[in-house]
Amino acid sequence: MTVEGLRRIDSSRLEVPQGFKPGMRTKGIIYLDETLEKVLDIKSVNQVANVATLPGIVGPSLAMPDIHTGYGFTIGGVAAFDLREGVVSPGGVGYDINCGVRLLKTELEKAEVLPRLTELIEGFYRTIPTGVGSKSTLKLNAKEHRKVLVKGAQWVVEKGFGEAEDLDHSESRGCMEGADPGLISKKAYERGSAQLGTLGSGNHFTEVQYVDEVYDEQIANALGLFQGQVTVMIHTGSRGFGHQVCTDSLETMQRAVRKYSIKLPDRELACAPFDSPEARDYMAVMKAAANFAWANRQLIMHWVRESFIRTFSAAPSALGISLIYDVAHNIAKVEEHVVKGQKRKLIVHRKGATRAFAPGQPELPDIYKNIGQPVIIPGDMGRASFVMTGTERGMEESYGSTCHGAGRLLSRHQSIKMARGRAIWREMEDQGIIVRATGRHTLAEEMPEAYKDISNVVDVVHNAGLSKRVARLRPLGVIKG
């Protein structure tokens, strides 16, 4: 639909003028071409405008081309706030704290894997707990659970589930410092105690893919990617633990809004000043949930490696399985950015958006200093995913942020209704894609038509200069909750 009042800046950008809604302190910018603008909904635009009313916002309220309505912030939303006058809002992070993806490469080629693909996918499905309420074979006692919240993926590696170099290939090395396990509720601990190493449900997946197109040979070589190569993508987050952390925090933030007399256009934007006790506590528990998510993906990666070893009866060195990168989607971080020619520390909220730092940034591991941060963009189970890298323009314009996926077109209810009478798994097999899931409703909710075309989304951020296309990955087989 066409939303009245927006102004097209260029082929990749729409402006939400500062007067679009009362109280806006800045404008909004939505990264969309004319094709994706046709499916833009007014609720998402209103959420972009609502974020622009928050105290201390620096620069525009941003939304990526995978934009769709979320809780408080739109999914695909990015906003940065001043550390003195700005706020922290759980709605700018989301319920699934540090939902993210990691991409593994192998030395195997598509032709080598196809004969054993079914066996490999069945191995994933047996080994990796999936679905609502799925429980891990690794049970955490209270002491070890607290260690996970402080150490993140490092705890998993120390337990023998991975390699030390895995940490070098993860955003924040798989751990944010400053987590406080003492602030976590009993209910959150109960929900998370049996969920480490579980995939969960909804749009979470583990997928076997292959590189079917390379756009930048030099960067692809630096990442170790080549045509026809088999890769694996893991997409999950902090599970019920992170959801409960967010639920608990929102109750606190609702009280903080009244305490600090913050005027909001939407109660879902509940927030607190950055330098307040409520905001400090939220950041401490958010970091704990983020660390849980990094540990979760690290453990699943270990089980993926084991499944490959069993299926191909080969040593890890022969298979060449290693981590390219792990990125977070739902997170808030204190970062240094250049604003109007001056370096400033800001609290950057990314909700359904990926950090995409340019070459030379201090936070990048040495191996990626010259090419920029790898950006992993998952698509739906029937089309494609993409590997990109961060750019200098993205640093200047979007605080080093880009899209995080395809973005939903249909609600889950609409998808289930559309899928009636269809066998989605059979449709996928007809395309040569093997799918395993715990229930047919999951496949209905996640069918390709439920999402925007990932190629369109990636074209927008590439053409806008927020991130650079490197390679396209096609699905071969996937497990879902």
pLDDT of residue 1: 55
pLDDT of residue 287: 98
Cα of 473 vs its chain's centroid, Å: 17
Point out which residues pair with 15 in neighbouring strands.
7, 29
Residue 463 is which amino acid?
Answer: N
Sheet of 7-10: strands edge to edge? 7-10, 13-16, 28-31, 57-68, 75-82, 342-351, 331-339
d(Cα 271, Cα 453) in Å, to the nearest integer? 34
> Residue 323: which of 112, 82, 476, 162 has the closest Cα?
162
* Type of residue found at 428: M
C-alpha 48/C-alpha 34 separation (Å) is 18
Contacts of 96 (CB under 8 A, 6+ apart): 237, 238, 239, 242, 243, 330
Residue 279 · residue 87 · CB < 8 Å: yes
Q: Give the catalytic positions in this structure.
A: 404
The one-character DSSP state at 52 is T
pTM as predicted: 0.95
Q: Where are the alpha helices (DSSP H) in 67-215?
A: 110-113, 117-127, 142-151, 153-158, 164-168, 186-192
Burial 14-23 (b: 16+ CB within 10 A, else e): bbbeeebbee
Distance CA 467, CA 388 (A): 6
Q: Is 410 left (phi over 0), alpha (psi -120 to 50) or beta?
A: beta
The pLDDT value given to residue 314:
92
The DSSP annotation for 59-110 comes to EEEEEEEEEE--SSSPEEEEEEEETTT-EE-GGGT-SSTT-EEEEEEEEEEH
Q: What is d(CA 34, CA 14) in angstroms, rounded to the nearest whole number?
A: 10
Element (H, E) at 303: helix 277-312
Helix (H) / strand (E) element for 463: namely: helix 454-464
Q: What pLDDT was estimated at residue 50?
A: 98
**What is the C-alpha to C-alpha distance for residues 430 and 414, in angstroms, rounded to an integer?**
23
Residues in the chain: 481
Q: How many helices (H) and strands (E) does the chain have?
A: 17, 19
Query: Residues 72, 269: contact at Cβ < 8 Å?
Result: yes
Residue 75, strand partner residues: 68
pLDDT in tens, the chain (481 residues): 578 899 999 999 999 999 999 999 999 999 999 999 999 999 999 999 999 999 999 999 999 999 999 999 999 999 999 999 999 999 999 999 999 999 999 999 999 999 999 999 999 999 998 876 677 777 788 899 999 999 999 999 999 999 999 999 999 999 999 999 999 999 999 999 899 999 988 789 999 999 999 999 999 999 999 999 999 999 999 999 999 999 999 999 999 999 999 999 999 999 999 999 999 999 999 999 999 999 999 999 999 999 999 999 998 888 999 999 999 999 999 999 999 999 999 999 999 999 999 999 999 999 999 999 999 999 988 889 999 999 999 999 999 999 999 988 878 778 888 878 788 878 888 888 999 888 777 788 887 787 889 999 999 999 999 999 999 999 999 998 7
Alpha helices in 210-276 (DSSP H): 217-223, 239-259
**91, 269 contact by CB (below 8 A):** yes
pLDDT score at 412? 76
Could you tell me the maximum CA-CA distance found in the chain, to the nearest angstrom?
64
